[in-house]
Amino acid sequence: MIMKDFITAKQEFDKLVEESLKKYKPKVPVVFTKLSEVTKAITSNMITWSRKNSLWPLQFGLACCAMELLDFGASRIDAERKGFLVFRATPRQSDVMISAGWITKSMAPEVKRLYEQMSRPRYVVAYGECSVSGGPWYESYNIIEGIDQIVPVDVYVSGCPPRPESLFDALLKLQEKVGGKIDN
Amino acid sequence: MIIDRKDLIDTISSFKKKGFSYLVKILGIDYIDYISVLYILRNLDSDEEIEIEVHLNQNDLWVPTIINIFKGADWYERELYEMFGIEIKGRKVRKLLLEKFSENIYPLRKSFKWGTK
Amino acid sequence: MLINELIEIIEYFIVMLITAFAFAYFFGWLERKFVGKFQRRHGPTYLGKFGLLQNLADFFKLLTKEQVWPKKADKLLFLVSVFLIAGFTLYLVMLLPIYNFYIINSSIILLLIFIILSFLPILIALNGYSSSNKFAMISAQRSILLLISFEIPLFLVLIAIGYYVHSYSIVSIVNAQSNLWFLFIMPIGFFVFLMALLAEMERTPFDLREADSELIAGWLTDTGAPYYMLALFVDYIRSFFGAAIISLLFLGGWYGPFGNSFIWLFIKTIFVALFIMFIRAIAIRMRIDRILYFGWIVLLALSIINLYLVYLGY
Amino acid sequence: MSLVKINIGPVHPSTHGLLRLVVTLDGDTIVNVEPHVGFLHRGVEKLAENRMYMQIPPFIEKCDYVAKTAMDEAYVATVEAAMGIEPNERAQYERVILLELQRIASHLLWLGAMLNDLGHFFSVFMWTFADRDKVLKLLEEATGQRMFYVNMRLGGLRQEFPKDFEYHVLDVLAYLEKRINEYESFIENSSLFKERMYKVGVLSRDDAINLGVSGPVLRASGVNFDVRKDKPYYVYKKLNFKPIVLYNGDNFSRYKVRILEIKESIRLIREAFKQMPDGNATGMPIKLINPAPKNKVVRVSREGPRGEIMFYLVADEQRPYRLAMRTPAFINLAALNHIAKGNKFANLFPIIGSLDLVMADVDK
């Protein structure tokens, strides 16, 4: 009898996950949306393909994970192979904000302003324990536990510090999400 | 060596004349009934180091500034003011690390419990 | 009679547009791979055969991003200057002759090109000024400095070439180089011309306008995505134009050892473009006052010497 | 002329971390640089008062996340001094080897970041990072972790060096020596580099002493002070270590001191491998720690890649009553205003680069 309840609960949970993911559709609020339906079909595929394959990370190294972020851009795990151009410094021209390091109270408004300055569509990768949940400093009086209290996060990378290869894998997962492969 | 805060400035300048020309650190320790402030100086040639300790009781916390003897003491004194709430007499001191928040939070005091957000 | 002339111009316009866009696209890809190789890493590899489609993906993504207008920015001035820059650069490329395929062959075509080229930094400064961002202001101020200090040596070298060939039409200049390239006739002139053009094209070691380590992205700090794509494209087209002008004026355009055809011109242009990328991968950015010293004293003196040597019938 | 105030925000390509600089400019020359810090402050000293002794190394290592072993080893040495434990001969040699390897990795990272500040479009940055990866692979082989090693135990190391670790290290060192000579000749012969580094950001000898800076910044201004020589610890005396001192205190000599220190570290490691006796270097496992005597005051200072690291420990039974840290970058940054005054605006970033700052070090 208990097993039956367990199965129904699981099905309900899967349905919930499906709906939430279905709601997340990559919005395309820009010039091309005004074209007719046919061009929109073509262009939307082209747009998602282009967005998927050229994610430009914003140079946003906070603390020790920034060292791994630099290794991610350096020549061993060369990020430019997959289109993650070496870091852009201006928020206007970058898509992905990889938050590497812990967020303190005096840094929170800066993070918020930087996120607002980035032009849509923008994504956030919480890289390392400190950005995911405050890391070893979760009790400190000056720390905000996790960047998802400030900006919506797309991909979480756990580890302290996670290896650069895991950041590469995280960005591949982000590409699947950007390409819309997850929900359809 | 423990001295009173009134003759702190001339002991430090006398030591500086004696050759202790390098200020290593200024730090504060909160022993519940008094706060002790340590000045660590070093003589670069003979490599000796001395600690000058000043005891301040909890209710009137102030220390004269030694900024005109050691330019390097600037940030140490600001940190001392911020972490312990010890007034620095002789110059205007602004907070260094927690500029915007914590009007009257002095983290390194024993009274400040760890884990308060 | 007027119609077929018009058709010819339109035909030429289309051909040059395609070559300019193709070269800009190819230059962008080549730069990422070539500079990547210098840094012990491959450039983009996953998209397309050797990462060829990577620029296409960047192009489309930038096209569909949102442009954020800062409150204090002057929108009209910004739009006007961005499109003017793009228009002038494309217009410059149109004036270039390719073998026996050109619009105008008047005797003052070279002067017209360089007057327009000297007009561009003012537009860039206007664009930087209009985006009301402090870093863009500084870079606008620096672009004017660069313009002033590198125009005079550039024109002195042009006068030397013009005097040698007794006319300023590029076709006659290239014909004069049929037996001996100008590179060997006036090597000092070549050096001065190269340095001044590097400054015009914002390439290291003179890329002060877009000094990304100090002024974040110089005059591009606040440009949103679609206009940033335009600025990037214009940057590559200007490099194409610079490489083409150098190969036309100094490396004997379409004269090659076997038959002289426009393929030689493209090979030389690509070769000069590779050299420019090599400088970018190696050189360190010069400080603004050193650049002014270099521009005003070193280049000016060299160009005057070059003028005398040509005048004395060297 | 009207003074322009520029706010170089916390996230900037060449501030090596979160540092806001409010620069007042008179035209292009700097009148005053006011660094605002505290973007990474998380109260490590307060945290240390609530943790057991051997729970603290991971936090201390996150202070200076470029020279991890230096901080970790300095802290463990303080606890050893408090408890009166002395690491055996082989453990001292192995600690010196790990320290010097860490110093090489830290200076390589600094070299890449420094050249990138000068506008070098990531070229030397990529080369030095590739070399640093080789050193990190070595440290990973010895300690098992790529970034934060927590490899020190009371009285020795967490684990012995693997079997033929020595040959791997000597190969990498030979490769690094060749690379460093290449970088030196490539960087120093370019006149562009000389223009931007000579006589820029000059710090005179007595200013350096008065400001209290330490490490390569102090030694570049002619002060012959290095904790490894003046207060020798472990086996530095046997390896006859000689500090590198240069005298004109500008950007170039700060750069040169670090390059020569890399070479000196390579020599020290080779020497250490030669003189290393056999034996077991593993230290005391964590749970067997006997409590430290109450209210014992200990002060230990070590030489990190950035400067002098000093720990002041007031011991309590099982956890420190008060742990004060002197982190070198804190004071080197305080001296920035004095050094950068009067320079051009474009010179500000090479000066910041030459100070080799790590912001988590400053904010503690």
- Print the SS3 string covering chain C: CHHHHHHHHHHHHHHHHHHHHHHHHHHHHHHHHHHHHHCCCCCCCCCCCCCCCHHHHHHHHHHCCCCCCCCCCCHHHHHHHHHHHHHHHHHHHHCCCECCECCCCCCCHHHHHHHHHHHHHHHHHHHHHHCCCHHHHHHHHHHHHHHHHHHHHHHHHHHHHHHHHCCCCHHHHHHHCCCCCHHHHCHHHHHHHHHHHHHHCCCCCCCCCCCCCCCCCHHHCCCCHHHHHHHHHHHHHHHHHHHHHHHHHCCCCCCCCCCCCHHHHHHHHHHHHHHHHHHHHHCCCCCHHHHHHHHHHHHHHHHHHHHHHHHCCC
Output C289 or D225, whichever has higher pLDDT.
D225
The count of other CB atoms within 10 Å of the CB of residue B114 is 14
Tell me: the pLDDT tens digits for A135-163? 888 888 888 888 888 888 988 998 888 88
In this structure, what token pair is assigned to residue B93? 């001191």
Q: Which residue has the tokens 């690491």?
A: D87
Phi-psi region of D243 (alpha: psi -120 to 50; beta: other; left: phi over 0): beta
Question: What average pLDDT score do residues A22-33 get?
Answer: 57
- Chain A interface with D: residues with Cβ < 8 Å: 59-64, 66-68, 70-71, 74-76, 86-87, 89, 101-102, 104, 106-107, 110, 114, 136-137, 139-143, 160-161, 163
- Across C285-308, average pLDDT: 86
Amino acid (one-letter) located at D277: P
Higher-confidence residue: C132 or A116? A116
D279, D285 contact by CB (below 8 A): no
Query: Residue C12 and residue D332: Cα distance in Å, rounded?
Result: 62
In a domain, B48, yes or no: yes
- pLDDT of residue B93 exceeding 90, the answer is no
The enclosing domain of B33 has a CATH number of 3.30.460.80
pLDDT of residue D263: 92
Q: Domain of B13?
A: 2-101
Per-residue DSSP letter, B59: S
Q: How confident is the model at residue B9 (pLDDT cuts 50, 70, 90)?
A: confident
Copy the structure tokens of residue A36: 């007719």
In one-letter notation, the amino acid at residue C280 is R
For the cut 50, the answer to whether the pLDDT of residue A165 exceeds it is: yes
pLDDT tier at A76 (50, 70, 90 boundaries)? confident
pLDDT digits (tens, 9 = 90+) for D265-291: 999 999 999 988 888 888 777 776 677
Instruction: Give the least confident one: B3-12, B30-39, B91-100.
Output: B91-100
A33's CB contacts (< 8 A; 6+ apart) are: A40
Q: What digits encode the pLDDT tens for the residues C4-36?
A: 888 888 888 888 888 888 888 888 888 888 888
Nearest-CB residue to C66 (from A52, A54, A119): A119
Is residue C211 scored above 60 in pLDDT?
A: no
Identify the weakest region by mean pLDDT among A20-34, C26-40, D22-36, D184-198: A20-34
Q: Which of residues 94 through 113 in chain A touch C, CB cutoff 8 A? A: 95
CB contact under 8 A, B72 and D331: yes
Cβ–Cβ contact B98 with A under 8 A:
yes
CA distance B70 to chain A (A): 30
Tokens coding C235: 């940057």
Residues present in chain A in total: 184
Is the pLDDT assigned to residue B59 strictly greater than 50?
yes
Question: Does the complex come out with an ipTM higher than 0.90?
Answer: no
Residue among A58, A51, A73 at smallest CA distance from A164? A73
**D245-259 burial string, b = 16+ CB within 10 Å, else e?**
bbebbbbbbbbbbbb
Spatial contact of C65 and A30, defined as CB atoms under 8 Å apart = yes
Per-residue pLDDT band for B89 (boundaries 50, 70, 90) equals confident
Torsion of CA C213, C214, C216, C222, to 10 degrees: -160
Look over chain A and give the mean of its residue pLDDT values, rounded to a whole number.
Answer: 80
pLDDT of residue A184: 36
What Å distances lie between residue C271 and A68, C225, C277, D236, CA to CA?
Answer: 37, 31, 10, 55
What is the phi/psi pair of residue C203, to 5°? Answer: -100, 150
User: Domain boundaries in chain C?
Assistant: 2-18+66-313
DSSP per-residue string spanning D264-291:
HHHHHHHHHHHH---S--B-B-GGGPPP
Query: CA-CA distance, A94 to C223, in Å (whole number)?
Result: 12
Alpha-carbon distance of A129 to A101, in angstroms, equals 8
Listed by number, the residues of chain D in 34-73 with a beta carbon closer than 8 Å to a beta carbon of chain A are 38-43, 46-47, 58-59, 62, 65-66
- In this structure, what are the phi and psi dihedrals at residue B53, rounded to the nearest 5 degrees? -110, 140
Mean pLDDT (chain C, rounded)? 83
Structural domain count of chain B: 1
- Largest alpha-carbon pair distance within chain A? 59
Q: Is the predicted pLDDT of residue D177 greater than 90, yes or no?
A: yes
pLDDT in tens, C138-148: 778 777 888 78
Q: Do A74 and D133 touch (CB under 8 A)?
A: yes
What pLDDT band is residue D264 in, cutting at 50, 70 and 90? very high
Full-model pTM: 0.87
Question: Which is it for strands A96-100 and A123-127: parallel, antiparallel or unpaired?
Answer: parallel
Q: Do B108 and D46 touch (CB under 8 A)?
A: yes
Give me the torsion for CA of D113, C274, A84, A81, rounded to 10°: -110
Taking contacts as CB-CB distances below 8 angstroms, the residues of chain A near B98 are 105-106, 142
> How many Å apart are CA C44 and CA A53, to the nearest integer?
10
- Chain D residue with Cα closest to C134: D6
pLDDT band for position D320 (cuts 50, 70, 90): confident
A49, A71, A92: which to substitute to probe chain C, counting the most C Cβ within 10 Å? A92
Q: Is residue B111 part of a domain?
A: no
D8 to chain C nearest CA, in Å?
A: 9
Distances (CA, A) of C104 to C5, C9, C21, D280: 11, 9, 21, 85
- Flag whether B117 is in a domain: no
| C-beta atoms of C280 and D345 within 8 A | no
Task: State the Cα–Cα distance between residues D107 and D255, nearest whole angstrom.
Answer: 10
> What is the Cα–Cα distance from A27 to A23, expressed in whole angstroms?
11
Mean local confidence (pLDDT), D333-354: 86
CATH number for D3-363: choose from 3.10.270.10, 3.30.70.980, 3.40.50.970, 1.10.645.10. Answer: 1.10.645.10
Query: In this model, does residue A172 exceed pLDDT 50?
Result: yes
CB contact under 8 A, B100 and A106: yes
Q: Which chains touch B (3 or more CB pairs under 8 A)?
A: A, D
The whole-number pLDDT of residue D316 equals: 84
Size of chain D, expressed as the number of residues it contains: 364
**For residues A128-132, average pLDDT:** 88
In 3D, which of C281, C282, C276, C288 has the Cα closest to residue C218? Answer: C288
In this complex, is the C-beta atom of D303 within 8 Å of any C-beta atom belonging to chain B? no
% of chain D exceeding 90 in pLDDT: 16
The residue ranking higher by pLDDT, B115 or C151, is C151
- For D195, which of C216, C282, C290 is closest by C-beta distance? C290
D295-325 burial string, b = 16+ CB within 10 Å, else e? eeebbbbbbbbbbbbbbbbbbbeebbbbbbb
Task: Give pLDDT, residue C48.
Answer: 77
Asked if the model's pLDDT at residue D176 lies above 90, the reply is yes
* Residue B112 located in a structural domain: no
Average pLDDT for chain D: 87
Rounded mean pLDDT, C303-313: 87
Split at pLDDT 50, 70, 90, the class of D173 is very high
Average pLDDT over every residue of C98-121 = 81
How much is the pLDDT for A183? 46
Chain A hits for C61, Cβ within 8 Å: 47, 50-51, 53-54, 95
Given a cut of 80, whether residue B83 has pLDDT beyond it is yes
